[in-house]
Structures are given as C-alpha cells and as structure tokens.
Amino acid sequence: MSTDIPLPAHRWPTLEPGWVWLCGAGPGDPGLLTLHAVNALRQADVVIYDALVQEQILTWAPQAEHIYAGKRGGKPSAKQRDISLRLVDLARAGKRVLRLKGGDPFVFGRGGEEAQTLVQHGIPIRIIPGISAGIGGLAYAGIPVTHRDVNQSVTFVTGHDQSGNTPSSLDWRSISKGSQVIVIYMGMKHIAQIAAQLIDAGRSPHEPVAVVTTATTDDQEVLETTLGTIVDDIAKAALAPPAIICIGQSVLMRQVLDWQSMAAGHAPRNLDPLGRGRPAESA
C-alpha cells in the first residue's frame, strides 16, 4: 500500500500536535483496519504499538517514530503506568501521537485506562474503534458469534486479570447458565481451570469448542474440540497464544461456513451442522 493512494472523499479528522488517538488495529489482517486508522497512520509523528500489531501496518507510517509497548504473558513487558505516562510526555512535547492497539482498544485492551490517564493529565484524545478478535477472528474461522438457531446472547470474558490469574470476580456458574455462547480472550494459560469450572456449573463436557490462534493472519490455526477434551487436544496440537476460545453450538457452524477452506477448493463438511432439516432461508 502506498501513502500516495488518496483516501475516499470524506471530512477526515486532523491529528493535531499534542493529541493522542487511541486506535484499534484489528485482529491481525492489515486489511481489517478502518479508514480512520489509515488516516491516523499517515499523520502520526509517533506510533506506540502493541505486540499483536502486524509489522506491515507500521510500514504505512514511514514518517513516524515507532515505539514498541507490547505486553505478552510470561515475557518481560512494559508496565502499564509507564506506557500511559509515556503517552502523556509525548503529547506534551507537541507530538502527534497514535496509540495503536490490537483488536479494539476498549475490549480487554486497557484502552480505557490509558484514555483516562490522558484526560486526567489534560491531554486531548480521540478513540478509533477496531474489529475485536472475539468477533472478527472467529468470523475468519467460519464461526458466527451469533446465529438465530443457536443463541440470542453471547458473553465475552477475559481468561486472566492484571495479576495474570483467572479473574476472581467472574461468576463462572452464572456465566455457564446465562450465556449460550462464551468467547474467551487470553484464556489458554488457565483453560484447564476454566473448563473444569464450566463443567462443574452444568455445561456438557461434549459441548463444541473452537480455539483460534493468531486469528486472521497467514499463521491462523483452528482447533475444533469439546469442553471435556480441550486441555488434551490443545497439548496434542501444540497450540500457543494468542488465541480466542469459543464455547457453544455456534462452533458447529464452521462445518458449513469454513470459507477459507472452501476458497482452497474443499467442499463444506456438513450443509446442516445443527441438524435442523430445513433450508437456512426458512429460519
């Protein structure tokens, strides 16, 4: 992509000196950036980016300084306070600052914390939403997070809190009983504990589960398993984070909606994976 290619006609906002724009970079595929994100990349003096932001995206801001501020579990990472205050310092220095975060900055991305810090220090901000991996990543795997024949609710949860442990504030029994489909971010490390709690709360060990790693990228892998066998199956498949985990009957829809496999010339595995016995358009 060239910065010489003009954006479509629109009243595009100007990233002014001293401002910080908090922007979602989407789940991985650079093509999933919004046009507002591209506009921001073209104007920034500094891009502070997370671990899951693809390198290709950074090449779209050749004029900017690129500062890595990734945080990955189990690896040395920048402290959140230091990242937030770095944004303040750069803005006060008159820089046009783009804070680029994987997925959506307000979905388990600490975007709210960073934005609050900036506002408390008198720094003007703009929020640019992004496609969250819990929706876009599953869509690339052929899994709809909502499907009329399956669910009228979906719950998004994080698999660990700021301490690295499974969030103690989550009521897994209520989640188990109250949500037809559960999407878990950052849940690989504690999946054994999470699966056990859900089964104890009444979810069937035979319930379909999908694990999607490095979603929407060329390295994407998808494991279809069940709640009762997920721990062993992840180990056998040697999967590693980042991953999105989807629990519920909507996982079965991948048998008919695995569009990437079909694009490669493979036939769908099952045209009626939910066993409804009627055409989809009659739903």
Active-site choice (50, 101, 253, 258): 50
Q: How far apart are the first and last CA of the chain?
A: 42
50 is known as an active-site residue: yes
Pick from 140, 136, 142, 129: nearest CA to 156: 136
186 is known as an active-site residue: yes
Contact 214, 52 (CB under 8 A): no
The whole-angstrom separation of Cα 144 and Cα 250 is: 6
The residue to which tokens 């975060």 are assigned: 101
Is 82 buried (19+), middle (13-18) or exposed (0-12) by CB count in 10 A? exposed
Active-site choice (29, 95, 104, 186): 186
The whole-angstrom separation of Cα 94 and Cα 80 is: 22
71 is known as an active-site residue: yes
- Characterize the bridge pairing of strands 208-213 and 243-247: antiparallel
Q: Would you name the residues annotated as active-site residues?
A: 50, 71, 186
